[in-house]
């Protein structure tokens, strides 16, 4: 049993070293102001009242150009610094070898410990380049999936019927996103749809489960001892089995020079790796990573927008009028005609401004010690992020910031630069989609996706809240903000367009 004693000694040494490193790194942040609760300063409160402590730090420090630190609500093993807006340009321009979003994702969601898919360079490339280049050709297929999914998830309802929006839009977003990722046949496969949804849920479940069972010093043992360590591996293996026939057929056609011109990520992956094709497992992982990055956040966004449509019915006539006018000029939706829906675009952006899917964005982890131009120094493996929720609720940037103004950004575009202030815009005042090189590369696709859904919804259905007239409150948990998934609305088919 000498090996057991040897292993025990190694574990003890590892824990001791990690402890020393953690203490040393924390001490290196002592020059940054610490924000904490005056009373009941417990870990649980940082999880349930994250927006409160962020607001406190923003008013005291961030608004005045100073970074501050606070306890990480979900990861005690990583120090965390909340940056002032004045640092945004420097973070955007920093190389990934110094300030890394992929490293942040791996560390924050414990991707290696849960044996999840990892950030994929080729997945990022096909989204940033191929997807955006082919957006115009994807509008019709996306609308096809949208219409077909509505028929599936909303039964015939000539009179008012109950409905949970999350149950409608999660499978719809999976299908519409899947049409762009895996093509027409597989995107409609019920098992594939459920698998793509379960992957993201499994990653969240595993990261929370590992943190619940292991302190940060012990998490490295999770790949061998965590009870759910095989869950994501099994899911990834099944994804590879489902994608293999599609991928191999496409690859054979590509090599033979007889391929049909598909417009989806499977085809783009093949075209971007002609000399050394990926294995079906690698392709499946890249696709699962793209699903993980998109479907839940987009589903949350569309649910929030529809809640706001129901809560503010006074905007519906103007939005329908804009849709009618645009369709009169161009009966089929296209990239150009969707761009003409400026009032709808403004409504979407205002909803996102007030109800984002997270309190912070532009997250990075320091790959090695980093010193900003003003001398602010962060040790390696420090999490940094920007308080987007505070930026978008600051009266100096957005007058009456707590008031829903569905045409706010429409007026800003008319009064200023018409190319700015649209839904997919990123700027130092609008960081919901991130910033810099790692700004969400799929945000233009998402804007098209949401407009297609909303136009179909507005033209064909009436919606009211099942109880009362007030918007269901969002659910906040650490840095995450999600719309109410359980609230019921009532839906009824329109008898004619626009009525």
Pairing between β-strand 475-477 and β-strand 99-100 as defined by DSSP bridges: unpaired
Structure tokens at 113: 């410990």
The rounded distance, in Å, linking the Cα atoms of 98 and 104 is: 12
Q: Give one word for 481, left, alpha or beta, with left for phi > 0 and alpha for psi -120 to 50.
A: beta
SS3 for 304? helix
Question: What values do phi and psi take at 427, rounded to 5?
Answer: -155, 180
Pairing between β-strand 99-100 and β-strand 361-366 as defined by DSSP bridges: antiparallel
The rounded distance, in Å, linking the Cα atoms of 177 and 194 is: 13
The rounded distance, in Å, linking the Cα atoms of 232 and 328 is: 48
**Measured on CA atoms in the order 462, 463, 469, 473, is the torsion positive or negative?**
negative
Number of other CB atoms surrounding residue 95 within 10 Å: 9
Virtual CA dihedral for 341, 344, 348, 351, nearest 10 degrees?
A: 160
The rounded distance, in Å, linking the Cα atoms of 291 and 294 is: 5
Residue 440 marked as a ligand binder: yes
> Binding site residues, as ranges?
440
Annotated binding site for heme: 440
């Amino acid at each position: 049993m000498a090996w057991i004693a040897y292993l025990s000694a190694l574990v003890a040494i590892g824990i001791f070293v990690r402890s020393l490193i953690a203490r040393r790194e924390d001490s290196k942040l002592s020059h940054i102001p610490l924000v904490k609760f005056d009373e009941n300063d417990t870990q649980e409160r940082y999880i349930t009242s994250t927006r409160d402590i962020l607001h406190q730090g923003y008013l005291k420090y961030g608004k005045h150009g100073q970074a501050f630190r606070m306890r990480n609500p979900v990861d005690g093993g990583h120090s965390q610094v909340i940056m002032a807006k004045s640092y945004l340009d420097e973070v955007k321009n920093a190389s990934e070898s110094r300030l890394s979003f992929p490293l942040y994702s791996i560390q924050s969601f414990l991707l290696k410990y849960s044996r999840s898919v990892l950030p994929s360079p080729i997945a990022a490339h096909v989204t940033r380049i191929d997807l955006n280049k082919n957006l115009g050709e994807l509008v019709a297929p996306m609308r096809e999936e949208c219409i077909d999914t509505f028929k599936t998830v909303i039964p015939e309802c000539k009179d008012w019927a109950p409905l949970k929006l999350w149950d409608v839009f999660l499978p719809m977003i999976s299908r519409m996103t899947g049409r762009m990722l895996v093509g027409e046949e597989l995107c409609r496969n019920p098992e594939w749809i459920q698998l793509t949804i379960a992957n993201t849920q499994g990653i969240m479940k595993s990261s929370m489960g590992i943190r619940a069972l292991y302190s940060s010093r012990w998490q490295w043992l999770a790949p061998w001892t965590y009870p759910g360590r095989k869950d994501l591996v099994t899911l990834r293996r099944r994804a590879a089995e489902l994608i293999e026939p599609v991928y191999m057929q496409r690859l054979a056609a590509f090599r033979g020079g007889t391929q049909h011109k598909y417009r989806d990520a499977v085809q783009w992956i093949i075209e971007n790796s002609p000399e050394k094709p990926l294995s079906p497992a690698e392709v499946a992982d890249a696709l699962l990573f793209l699903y993980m990055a998109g479907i839940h956040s987009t589903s949350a966004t569309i649910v929030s927008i529809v809640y706001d449509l129901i809560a503010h019915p006074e905007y519906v006539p103007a939005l329908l009028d804009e849709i009618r006018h645009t369709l009169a000029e161009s009966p089929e939706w296209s990239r150009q005609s969707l761009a003409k829906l400026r009032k709808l675009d403004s409504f979407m952006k205002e909803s996102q401004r007030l109800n984002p899917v997270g309190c912070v964005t532009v997250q990075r982890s320091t790959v090695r010690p980093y010193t900003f131009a003003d001398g602010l120094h962060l040790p390696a493996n420090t999490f940094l992020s920007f308080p987007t929720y505070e930026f978008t609720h600051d009266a100096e940037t957005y007058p009456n910031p707590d008031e829903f103004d569905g045409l706010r950004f429409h007026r800003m575009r008319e009064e200023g630069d018409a190319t700015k202030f649209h839904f997919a815009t990123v700027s130092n005042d609008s960081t919901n989609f991130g910033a810099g090189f790692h700004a969400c590369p799929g945000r233009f696709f998402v804007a098209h996706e949401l407009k297609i859904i909303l136009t179909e919804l507005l033209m064909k259905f009436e919606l009211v809240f099942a109880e009362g007239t007030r918007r269901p409150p969002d659910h906040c948990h650490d840095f995450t903000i999600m719309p109410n998934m359980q609230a019921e609305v009532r839906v009824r088919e329109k008898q004619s367009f626009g009525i």
